[in-house]
Amino acid sequence: MHWGRRGAAAADAPPLPRTAVELRDVTHAYGERTVLSDVTLTLTESRIGVIGANGSGKSTFARLLNGLVVPTAGTVLVDGLDTRTQVREVRRQVGFVFQDPDAQIVHPTVAEDVAFGPTNQGRPADEIARRVDEVLDRYGLDGHRDHPAHLLSGGQKQLLAIAGVLVMEPQRVVFDEPTTLLDLVNTRRVAQVIEGLRQDVVVVTHHLDLLAGFDRVLVFEDGRLAADGSPAETVPWYVARNA
């Protein structure tokens, strides 16, 4: 499947500095149950995919990247910042988009919701207004700015959730199954948005077609990194293994 080419946002803005995310001997347990074991890797590539069966630890891995989850053992460093002790700085650099946009939408109207993150970061009012206008325009939500966010369609809600992260201008964005709840048209739209981002991304997905142009794909199995390589290497391996 063809997902379209890079969007306008990528073409007219200078590249952002790269954020390196380093995991050193990372293990995570929920209570007694270890769900991620001994993960050591450094993420520097612009387009990184994460695949694996349900329950293999993908979301736990994704959440470790910006401190939504802190490891029970080992260390996660974002450009040297420890997610355990410097989570505020880490979250400025690495944004997170949840599978279910309702988990992310907290304010009554579209414009208020997008303004929430930069307001929370203590940015000046005029800068917030400018950034909000910019992202609403970019994601086709400009006509909906005063609409109740919960009345948007599923696809619009996911775009709103993405806008609410991008307005904070992180250097890398982690998407946890951003298209799983969407129909084909909205899946394509979100895929195009991701492709057009000047930010680096990590995308957890079951939508393997989305990874075709990616630089690197990680495959998780039972809480372990089972494969790590180009999509051409890892995706057919994963498909064959789960056939």
Among 57, 117, 118, 170, binds ligand ADP (CB under 6 A): 57
**Which residues of the shown chain bind Mg ion in the complex (CB under 5 A)?**
58-59
What CA–CA distances, in Å, run from 185 to 38, 89, 156, 174, 181? 38, 35, 11, 22, 12
Task: Figure out which of the listed residues 54, 124, 240, 243 binds ligand ADP, where binding follows CB under 6 A.
Answer: 54
Judged by beta carbon distances under 5 to 8 A according to partner kind, the member of Mg ion, ligand ADP, none in contact with residue 194 is: none
The two beta strands, 172-176 and 200-204, are parallel
The four Cα atoms 162, 163, 169, 173 give a dihedral, to 10 degrees, of 10
Query: Closer to ligand ADP at the Cβ: 60 or 187?
Result: 60
Closest contact distance (angstroms) between CB of 126 and Mg ion is 38
Regarding 58 and contact with ligand ADP (CB under 6 A), the answer is: yes
For residue 140, the partner it binds in ligand ADP, Mg ion, none, with Cβ less than 5 to 8 A by kind, is none
Residue partners of 175: CB distance under 8 A and separation at least 6: 97, 194, 201, 202, 203, 204, 205
In whole angstroms, the minimum distance from the beta carbon of 59 to Mg ion comes to 3
Q: How far is the CB of 119 from Mg ion (least distance, A)?
A: 29
Helix (H) or strand (E) holding 147: none
Instruction: Return the biggest CA–CA distance within the chain.
Output: 54
Distance CA 9, CA 134 (A): 10
Of the residues 49, 52, 67, 231, which one makes contact with ligand ADP according to CB under 6 A: 52
When asked if residue 60 is in the footprint of ligand ADP (CB under 6 A), the reply is: yes
Say which amino acid occupies 12. Answer: D
**Shortest Å distance, C-beta 30 to ligand ADP:** 3
Q: What is the x/- site pattern for ligand ADP, positions 10-49, by CB under 6 A?
A: --------------------x----x--------------
- Residue 63 one-letter amino acid: R
Task: Tell the burial category of 127 from Cβ atoms under 10 Å away from its Cβ (0-12, 13-18, 19+).
Answer: exposed
If one asks whether residue 59 binds ligand ADP (CB under 6 A), the answer comes out as yes
Instruction: Answer with the entry of ligand ADP, Mg ion, none that 60 interacts with (C-beta below 5 to 8 A by kind).
Output: ligand ADP
Q: Which stretch binds ligand ADP (CB under 6 A): 4-12, 39-47, 50-58, 227-235?
A: 50-58
Check if the beta carbon of residue 50 is closer than 8 Å to that of residue 125: no
Q: Which does 54 bind (CB under 5 to 8 A by kind): ligand ADP, Mg ion, none?
A: ligand ADP
Secondary structure of residue 81 in the 3-state scheme:
strand
Q: Give the separation between CA 238 and CA 240, rounded to whole angstroms.
A: 6
CB of 181 to Mg ion, least distance (A): 12
Which residues contact ligand ADP (rule: CB under 6 A)? Answer: 30, 35, 52, 54-60
